Amino acid sequence: DAGVTQSPTHLIKTRGQQVTLRCSPKSGHDTVSWYQQALGQGPQFIFQYYEEEERQRGNFPDRFSGHQFPNYSSELNVNALLLGDSALYLCASSSDWDKSSYNEQFFGPGTRLTVL
């Protein structure tokens, strides 16, 4: 059973460019959450997708957008990249996230984005 997968592993972009990151959830999971983790910090919630719709959103500008496909995989898009967008981007999958208090999120290995 494959866990959560993300691609690419590493990415280098320049300011102003656009980037797309991809995530495939763990088998049986229908909810995908995206996080940004700066060096030495905890993850910051970007948004969560369920049934192909954005269900919740953290405090991130509209430059950050996403999509979920019918097979539950997801993409994170960031436009007009800034130097401050350099971080580890983590995808986490779960199921029935808001149907019970306990639902563990399984994390992918992350995509390390560097903006020059």
Binding-site member from 1, 2, 28, 42 for other proteins (CB under 8 A) = 42
- Residue 11 within binding range of other proteins, rule CB under 8 A: no
- Residue 24 within binding range of other proteins, rule CB under 8 A: no
- Closest of 100, 91, 103 to residue 7, by C-alpha: 91
- Residue 43 within binding range of other proteins, rule CB under 8 A: yes
- Residue 33 within binding range of other proteins, rule CB under 8 A: yes
Binding-site member from 41, 77, 79, 114 for other proteins (CB under 8 A) = 41
- Residue 109 within binding range of other proteins, rule CB under 8 A: yes
Binding-site member from 58, 65, 86, 95 for other proteins (CB under 8 A) = 58
Three-state secondary structure of 22-81: EEECCCCCCEEEEEEECCCCCCEEEEEEECCEEEEECCCCCCEEEEECCCCCEEEEECCC
Q: For Cα atoms 84, 22, 17, give the angle at the middle one, nearest 5 degrees.
A: 40
- Residue 110 within binding range of other proteins, rule CB under 8 A: yes
